[in-house]
A = this chain, B = another copy of it.
Amino acid sequence: MEKENIKTLLDKFKAIATNSPDDLKRYGSDETEDLNFPPDLVLKPSTTKEVAEIMRYCNEHNIPVTPSGARTGLSGGALPVQGGVALSTEKMNRIISIDENNAQVTTQPGVITQVLQESVKEKGLFYPPDPASKGSCFIGGNIAENSGGPKAVKYGVTADYVLNLEVVLPSGEIIWTGANVLKNATGYNLTQLIVGSEGTLGIVTQIVLRLIPHPSHDMLMLVPFFAAKDACEAVAAIMKTGVTPSGLEFMERDAIVWTLEKHPNIQMEIRESHAAHLLIEVDGFDETKLMEDCEIIANELSNFKTGEILFADNQAQKDKLWEIRRKVGEAVKSHSIYKEEDTVVPRFALPNLLLGVKNIGQKYGFQSVCYGHAGDGNLHVNIIKGTLTDQQWNNELPKAIREIFKLTVDLGGTISGEHGIGWVQKEYMDIPFSSTSLHLMKQIKSIFDPKNILNPEKII
């Protein structure tokens, strides 16, 4: 980016700009590996109008703009890989209205997901999608990446709750994509085109979400398995009982062990023989019914070789188990240099996926730690650098990842369930999509962003 442009931008948007070296470094990273691409300038608009002005100026002057939320993403979607402007939504942090009568919320994108959830819960309403980073991620980022989380198995992902979006296009024009209604057969679905587009088509400045009644009760159990494959097989078996858990999480042994090592204040016994665990939650409005659900699940599990099932019998215990699950990603990250792949397959294919990943690991000589939202077939494969040389890590590993993704697609799945493609997976997009499909996507990008200034070099 030319120096002159930076200066003009700084002058023009002085009140909302920063370019201190610390800030530039900070906004140059998200939670993806240890990548850093500092922008030239950070702008923090607080209104749609300001976003539109920034976009208009940058579009005119060919300045790259990368939308930046809480930067908790895992695919590098928020990395300003061409420098330019990091457009942070952190000042757009207002819940605009909660419409109890229609069970809808209208919000700005910079609201923390958990804050949004707690605000609507006060009205008895429920916004289910809850990525592991819910305490820090922004709802706008969830829209960008079509985030999931543990509840997706019963309640679906972010996309399933988005009714309508206000979007600033790269040109600075402002559109609403849909209407505040539960069903809509009016033209092409621009709303769902924006959801999951990782900030490459427009900047989301207002979000209308549908809500549902908040369940009054939940129950949680932790089930140890002696074989990881058994745990994966149990997932499909549970789903076939007719009970739909509100969480059905898989964790390999190391995922838990490393989390406990990192957080010695969390007390939990884990036996040597326990190769994997399922964390299973049911929720609803009727405690008796939930007890029955738990019984049905426990009954099904008796067909598998499991250790003793732990039923969380108070809120503190539930919180602790969920805390472990939520901290796994971070613990794995701090344990070693790693790469995370966000594979997703039809859930019955999960045991084959796990087996395949381990076989590919043997072939290439890497260790992997797997965990994830097994109920919807979403397995986070963490490849550990461990003793691999830099040469192996940089040159051989992409081949291994390619094999993992090919296997995923062969099993009916795809290469990202909820983290997005962003910067780090885009080289693998030829695996799930034909060149025809990729060409369609490229053309869609060029309709919205003909000068390719908005979050360039992402996805495709």
Interface residues of A (CB under 8 A from B): 99-104, 124, 145-148, 152-153, 156-157, 159-160, 169, 173-190, 192-193, 195-197, 201, 212-213, 236, 239-240, 242, 244, 285-286, 289, 342, 344-349, 373, 376-378, 409, 412-421, 429, 432-434, 436-438, 440-441, 443-445, 447-448, 459-460
Chain B CB count within 10 A is highest, among A182, A186, A348, for A186
Residues of B within 8 A of A433 (CB): 175, 186-187
Chain B residue at minimum C-beta to C-beta distance from A145:
B185
Check if A183 sits within 8 Å of B289, measured CB to CB: no
Residues of B within 8 A of A99 (CB): 346, 348
- A420: which of B148, B185, B432 is its contact (CB, 8 Å)? B185
Chain B residue at minimum C-beta to C-beta distance from A438:
B187
A372 shortest CB reach to chain B, Å? 11
Check if B181 sits within 8 Å of A413, measured CB to CB: yes
Residues of B within 8 A of A432 (CB): 179, 186-187
Please measure, in the bound complex, the distance between the C-alpha atom of A67 and the C-alpha atom of B205, giving whole angstroms: 37
Check if A178 sits within 8 Å of B102, measured CB to CB: no
**Apart from A148-B183, A175-B436, A185-B342, what are 5 other A-B pairs with CB-CB below 8 Å?**
A103-B239, A159-B192, A173-B436, A180-B412, A182-B347
Check if B344 sits within 8 Å of A184, measured CB to CB: yes
- A179: which of B195, B412, B444 is its contact (CB, 8 Å)? B412
Please measure, in the bound complex, the distance between the C-alpha atom of A419 and the C-alpha atom of B183, giving whole angstroms: 10
A443 shortest CB reach to chain B, Å? 4
Check if A441 sits within 8 Å of B169, measured CB to CB: no
| 6 pairs from A and B in contact (CB 8 Å cutoff) | A102-B349, A104-B346, A173-B436, A174-B436, A183-B417, A440-B447
A208 shortest CB reach to chain B, Å? 9
Residues of B within 8 A of A201 (CB): 188
Residues of B within 8 A of A101 (CB): 236, 240, 346, 348
